[in-house]
Amino acid sequence: MCYNRACPLWGAVTKGAIALGRPRHWVRVAVALCALPVVLLGCQKDEVARVNGVVVKRAELMTELEKRWGGPMLQGMINQMIIRQAFDRSGLQFPQDKLEKVIQEEREMAGSEEAFQMRLAYAGQDEELHRTQLELDMKLTMLAQKDVVVTEEALREYYKENEPRYREPERVSFSEIVLPTKQQAEDVRKLAAKPNASFADLAKQYSIASSQQMGGRRATMAVEDIVPAEIRDPLLKLKPNAVSEPIQAGGAWAILQLHERLPAKQLTFEEAREQVEAGYKAEKQPVPTNELAQQLLNQASVQVVDPKYAELQRQYMSADLLRAAPGGEGAVAPKGPPGAETPKTGAPAGAAPTEAPPATPKGETK
């Protein structure tokens, strides 16, 4: 990887630095699509734009939005409803405190509230949308694991068998200022050396990296995951709060500030208990989560009454026919919409496409 804007990997570097690190799931895409009309309807003005004096009306925008994305949005809403209904029927209680804990851990990993909100924004989300996605993911996982029997003895045995999994590698927390030339880097380094200089303010003012908007702050990460690799050794030689000399990295120059260096640590069973239980349940659940999602879709009775979405109705009708066919429910997955790829990350066939509308940017629960 490189810092160079001209490098083909520039987008991967800049967006990767602030990615949420969560796998894309059909539920997440569906939630994102379904949120668009809510956002647009939240604004009550009839006019949304003027082009050389000609008004673009909200009704025109909504008509165009439905024409292009109405099918995927409706399908996403249906699939979300299928999960929620299945969860309600199960009698399971949703652990709201666990959801809050997950979000708090994400905030801490981001380093600041500003950094957390920026990560959400780069993922095309706000906090409410992110909560909805996490909730649906958690509910689907709980449904898949509801019949798994957990005992203290089984968990301790699982921990012993998988002890290396619960070793935290050495990690670092740091900030960066990335500049295109050596001279610019040297000039900014001089500014950073002044008494009472704010590294974060300098990053916001001068850095060309995506972390610029977060004051140069990078998420706490394992030493082995530090990229570009050229900055790793110089960073590890710094003392806390010290600032490095300019470092050539790829096609740019970086100045680094080390915040904290956390040593490698073997978690005890008590410290890793939640992770152990999650791993144990995932390994013992009778049906993989993606297969359960497909089963729920195939078992649902769905009627799409608007003729504009006749193709979508045919997909759900196919699922109804499968239940009555020899071989029983879920024998063959219903086809997705014409031209759509089959989801690869646990999505039932025919789920919302993995591409969001052009205007919407694209972002594991512990």
For residue 98, pLDDT beyond 50: yes
Two tokens, residue 356 = 């969001």
Of residues 195 and 118, more confidence is placed in: 195
pLDDT in tens, 118-131: 888 888 889 998 99
Domain edges within the chain:
22-148+285-324, 170-263
Phi then psi for residue 344, to 5 deg, are: -115, 0
Least confident span in 95-99, 209-213, 241-245, 330-334: 330-334
- CA distance linking residue 116 with residue 259, whole number of Å: 18
pLDDT in tens, 48-58: 999 999 999 99
For residue 363, pLDDT beyond 80: no
pLDDT in tens, 146-184: 999 999 999 999 999 999 999 999 999 999 999 999 999
For residue 362, pLDDT beyond 90: no
Model pTM greater than 0.75?
no
As a whole number, mean pLDDT of residues 342-362 equals 38
Q: What is the pLDDT of residue 110?
A: 78
- CA distance linking residue 148 with residue 235, whole number of Å: 45
For residue 77, pLDDT beyond 80: yes
User: Among residues 349, 346, 352, which one has the least CA distance to residue 22?
Assistant: 346
Residue where the block lists tokens 């997909």: 315
170-263 adopts what CATH topology?
Chitinase A; domain 3 (3.10.50)
What whole-number percentage of the chain has pLDDT above 70? 75
Distances (CA, A) of 226 to 172, 204, 238: 9, 21, 15
Q: Mean pLDDT in the chain?
A: 80
First to last CA, the chain: 28
Q: What is the pLDDT of residue 24?
A: 37
User: Among residues 206, 22, 194, which one has the least CA distance to residue 125?
Assistant: 22
Q: What is the pLDDT of residue 201?
A: 96
Distances (CA, A) of 252 to 87, 180, 347: 51, 5, 40
Residue where the block lists tokens 């968990």: 155
Q: What is the pLDDT of residue 31?
A: 56
